[in-house]
Amino acid sequence: MGQHSEKVEYRRKVINAELWAKKVKKMEMIRKKSGKKTWETLYNDGSSIIEHFGKDGLANKKVKTDATLTIDECIQEMGREEADAIIGRY
């Protein structure tokens, strides 16, 4: 029965990591003197969306990148964040 408990626990971690991976880690906007802006949204799994806007405010280009972390790496990183949060409470 213990082997099933381990599989269930791992599956729970995978589901939580999949949700965590798609959360925004950082957003950054770079504005040039010409009025053009670039927005970069970085997600927890390392994927990103980069949007380029002209000075008229309309999107000119949108670039998506793939995730750089595997699901197991996401589980590890999520665990580190949880541990840091627990340590930070004290």
How do residues 58-72 score in pLDDT, each as one tens digit? 888 899 999 999 999
Stated pTM of the model: 0.80
Band of pLDDT at residue 2, cut at 50, 70 and 90: low
Residue 4: C-alpha distances to residues 8, 9, 10 (Å): 6, 8, 10
d(CA 32, CA 79): 38
DSSP state of 37: E
User: 7 lies in which domain range?
Assistant: 2-88
pLDDT digits 0-9 by tens, 13-41: 999 999 999 999 999 999 999 889 999 99
Retrieve residue 65's tokens. Answer: 């990148």
Instruction: Give the count of domains, the chain.
Output: 1
pLDDT mean across residues, the chain: 91
Are 46 and 68 contacting, i.e. CB atoms less than 8 angstroms apart? yes
Distance between CA atoms of 71 and 18, rounded to whole angstroms? 7
* Rounded percentage of the chain residues whose pLDDT exceeds 90: 67
- For the chain, the distance separating the N- and C-terminal CA atoms, rounded to the nearest angstrom, is 37
Residue 85 has pLDDT above 60, yes or no: yes
